[in-house]
Amino acid sequence: MIKKLLLTLFFLATGYLLLHNITIYNPKNGFDGEGHVSYINYILQNKKLPLPHEGWQLNQPPIFYLLAAPLQASHLKPQVINFLSFFIILFLLFRFTKSYIAVLGFSSLPVAIYLVPLITNEYLSGLFGIVILLVLLKISTSGEKGNHLYTLLVIFFSLGFYTKVTNLMFLPLIPLALFLQKNKKWISRSAVIVSICLAMASPLMINNILRYGKPLVINDDFVEFDREKAQSREISFFLDPSWIFHPDLYTAHDYSFAGGMWNTFWHDGEHVATPEDTSDKRPLSLWLLGFPLAALSIFGLVRFIKKHKQQGIILISYLVLSLAVLILYNFRLPFHNVLKAFFVFPVVVPYVLGLVEASKYKKLSFAVTLLLMVQYITMCTWLYIQHWWYVAQ
């Protein structure tokens, strides 16, 4: 009874924080906020989808914007989509792990909170990516009884792709999951499922080929970037540890791949929802908390992989793919604004699974819970947008 009451209070507090931030946040802020808003307005004004070359961010797939447009027309905030996505992710992680640590672990992550008030397709894309990854984990251990999972996989891959094309990265994991399932027909079945997924994605890619000569397009296909502002992408950029020894919370993305990713995961490293107040110690606290929490998650993930080898291989493969995609994207666009952890939002799955497994180790259970509670309280107080901040309306 007490646990249920505490959980209810926890959900109410988190829900209030998110709704408060959505209500007060200026939607033209954020990462390309005006571009995403213009996409929604285009649909409302023209009653059709824009072409990728017609403006900034109009190259994005349409699902988020098709959902956001009627919300805006009804005088509701499009960020409601992010709000609902947040709680759906919480539910899915809890159902998969049967652990309240999963709920606390995800809710305590700054990246899971500061993204919610932004108008962006990243959260919905992250939700679909998380569903795809969880379905693949289930498939890898389902034996010959996973037919309904294949249907779910195709549905959510299609939804994910038409929200953000980066969900294509899950395709190589499909044959891997079926191979680990020890399905005798894994080759033919993989070919069928991947073919269906590609067929579902083909209308967008064929349209791009016919119009632009390539299946996938991004902003720099239509807008000339100032290459004089590009940062170095030499080996030192990926290995530079100086942001750790001289804590750099806000400018590490200029010279360090890891530093830029760390700052967008563990706190609001680009001031997208918080002010540039370097005197406040709460961002530093969140930045520092990331180190023991990451260590605990890695420890737990190793234990999880030893217990669940098939699922462990899927998780490791996803992490490798995510890293490879981010590195390639950084070579394609060598600018600090591509260093964002939420581009691979489903990494929260292995992170949370690691924490859950670490909490099952008696010597670490209290430490995991305590650190997450400290992170949650610190994060809530810092990411509560004040009406005088520059990000407020």
**What string of DSSP letters covers 114-180?**
HTTTS--SHHHHHHHHHHHHHHHHHHTT-TT--HHHHHHHHHHHHHHHTT-GGGGGGTTHHHHHHHH
Q: Tell the residue number behind the tokens 């010597």, with chain if given.
A: 363
Are 226 and 233 in contact, with CB atoms under 8 Å apart?
Answer: no
Going by C-alpha positions, the residue among 10, 88, 22 that lies closest to residue 273 is 22
pLDDT in tens, 18-51: 999 999 999 888 888 899 999 999 999 999 999 9
pLDDT for res 200: 97
Return d(Cα 371, Cα 363) in angstroms, integer. 14
Instruction: Decide: residue 360, CB within 10 A, 0-12 exposed, 13-18 middle, 19+ buried.
Output: middle
Return d(Cα 226, Cα 335) in angstroms, integer. 10
- The H-assigned helical ranges of 47-115 are 63-73, 80-97, 100-107, 110-114
* Nearest-10 crossing angle of helices 282-307, 257-266: 100
Q: How many residues does the chain have?
A: 393
Average pLDDT over residues 175-201: 92
Burial 150-177 (b: 16+ CB within 10 A, else e): bebbbebbbbbbbbbbbbbbbbebbbbb
pLDDT in tens, 276-328: 876 789 999 999 999 999 999 999 999 999 999 999 999 999 999 999 999 98
pLDDT in tens, 87-102: 999 999 999 999 999 9
- The H-assigned helical ranges of 267-347 are 282-307, 309-332
Instruction: Decide: residue 71, CB within 10 A, 0-12 exposed, 13-18 middle, 19+ buried.
Output: middle
pLDDT in tens, 213-243: 999 998 888 887 776 677 878 888 998 999 9
DSSP secondary structure letter of residue 25: B
pLDDT for res 144: 65
